């Protein structure tokens, strides 16, 4: 019997052990377990009870063969790339990546003798030119940070299959509620679980879901590199995951309402949100996604001074980096997520200094709109 996501987040992977009658599986705050007839269990091996609940739950909600929880989103991303790619290999990657992934590619891959080419992931006709005999993987994001672009995800999967490439997607911004990347055909779907999967801004964690052979390969790589999530953080992540479906509905609804309000405001010159009819890839987003997510970015007619004034005057959203929590946040990507890029790289990626990114929380949308109205006045 297939179950809906609302049910899966609550029940999938949960243990039926009722230790002393406990409804919740306790935190197994132990590094190792006594020998028995099972393989050796140890936190770094990613096979302890609090980790295994999440591995099973994330696989179920992504509709994937297997999943793995990791110590951070960057552990999932770097572990996946270093497992899929070997010395001498070449990576095709979307040119608009999260800053940390971008700088991992540009500053670290060469140390492993791995080459890369950035491509416009919305121009499938251009990809062939960057393909090399040693190209092994294609890496994209479901919604780009911070411009909320939706690249040609269907073409990425088809191109990867046609050229025997492993397709990887950072699905952090969409979450499995809005886009089931693994079920859609991506070989590996990666998450900063720090964001929506946990949803409460209180841990750093990562996760991936996809083909069982690839997930097993990453697990092997990370057994050497470390980067496992500790049991206490796993407990918190599982608790967050159980309200993911509810929270994402609120993020989707609030962000759409706020984006529509901002689009109609005279002080705002540009709103990037895939749920708006004005978004250049709205039709694609509506076809592929079950919701448009909680992230918006805007430009103001008054440029950087106006952006700074807006941020200072907002009362509900905190001025802070990161995203995907229950509380609304605002930041300027040029000084946070994309600070590691050079000004030239940022300009090339279309990230202006005055761009304001909003992580829309689950507060009442009317209160958020009122707050933006007074701050923009
Ligand atoms: N992917 C995206 C889209 C992100 O926004 C981030 C962090 O901001 C990461 C990956 C990295 O995740 P973490 O900070 O959990 O390592």
In the predicted structure, residue 314 carries a pLDDT above the cut 90: yes
Mean pLDDT of the chain: 96
**What amino acid positions are annotated as catalytic residues?**
44, 98, 170, 195
User: What is the share, in percent, of the chain residues with pLDDT greater than 90?
Assistant: 93
Rounded distance between C-alpha atoms, residue 356 and residue 135, angstroms: 36
Residue nearest to atom 5 of ligand 1 (CA): 98
Q: How far is the CA of 170 from the centre of ligand 1 (A)?
A: 9
User: What is the share, in percent, of the chain residues with pLDDT greater than 70?
Assistant: 100
Residue nearest to atom 14 of ligand 1 (CA): 73
Q: How big is the chain by its Cα radius of gyration, in Å?
A: 21
Peptide bond just before 327 cis, omega within 30 deg: no
Task: Name the residue of 79, 172, 324 to mutate for ligand 1: max ligand atoms within 8 A of Cβ.
Answer: 172
Residue nearest to atom 6 of ligand 1 (CA): 192
Rounded distance between C-alpha atoms, residue 243 and residue 196, angstroms: 10
In the predicted structure, residue 224 carries a pLDDT above the cut 90: yes
Walk me through the domains of the chain, giving residue ranges and CATH numbers. 5-241 (3.40.640.10), 247-376 (3.90.1150.10)
Rounded distance between C-alpha atoms, residue 167 and residue 295, angstroms: 24
Distances (CA, A) of 374 to 48, 257, 269, 297: 50, 16, 17, 18
Q: What is the pLDDT of residues 74-107, one digit of tens each?
A: 999 999 999 999 999 999 999 988 989 999 999 9
The β-bridge partners of 295 are 359
């Amino acid at each position: 019997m297939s179950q809906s996501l609302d049910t899966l987040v609550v029940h999938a992977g949960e243990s039926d052990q009722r230790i002393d009658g406990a409804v919740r599986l306790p935190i197994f705050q132990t590094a190792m377990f006594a020998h028995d007839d099972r393989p050796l269990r140890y936190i770094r091996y990613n096979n302890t009870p609090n980790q295994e609940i999440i591995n099973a739950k994330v696989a179920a909600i992504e509709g994937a063969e297997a999943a793995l929880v990791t110590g951070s989103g960057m552990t999932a991303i770097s572990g996946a790339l270093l497992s899929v790619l070997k010395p001498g290999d070449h990576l095709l990657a979307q040119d608009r990546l999260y800053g940390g992934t971008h700088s991992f590619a540009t500053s670290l891959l060469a140390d492993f003798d791995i080459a890369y080419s950035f491509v416009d992931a919305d121009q499938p006709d251009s990809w062939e030119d960057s393909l090399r005999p040693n190209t092994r993987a294609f890496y994209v994001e479901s919604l780009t940070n911070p411009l909320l672009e939706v690249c040609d995800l269907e073409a990425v999967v088809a191109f990867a299959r046609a050229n025997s490439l492993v397709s990887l997607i950072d699905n952090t911004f969409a979450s499995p509620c809005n886009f089931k990347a693994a079920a859609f055909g991506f070989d590996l779907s990666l998450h900063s679980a720090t964001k929506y999967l946990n949803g409460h801004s209180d841990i750093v964690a990562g996760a991936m879901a996809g083909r069982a052979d690839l997930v097993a390969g990453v697990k092997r790589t990370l057994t050497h590199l470390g980067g496992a999530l500790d049991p206490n953080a796993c407990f918190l992540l599982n608790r967050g995951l159980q309200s993911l479906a509810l929270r994402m509905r609120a993020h989707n609804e609030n962000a759409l309402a706020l984006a529509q309000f901002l689009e109609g405001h005279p002080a705002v010159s540009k709103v990037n949100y895939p749920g708006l009819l004005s978004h250049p890839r709205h039709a694609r987003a509506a076809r592929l996604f079950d919701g448009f997510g909680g992230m918006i970015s805007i430009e103001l007619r008054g440029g950087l001074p106006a952006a700074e004034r807006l941020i200072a005057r907002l009362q509900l959203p905190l001025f802070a980096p990161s995203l995907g929590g229950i509380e609304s946040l605002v930041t300027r990507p040029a000084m946070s997520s994309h600070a590691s890029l050079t000004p030239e790289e940022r300009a090339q990626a279309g990230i202006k200094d005055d761009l304001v990114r909003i992580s829309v929380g689950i507060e009442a949308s009317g209160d958020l709109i009122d707050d933006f109205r007074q701050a923009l006045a």
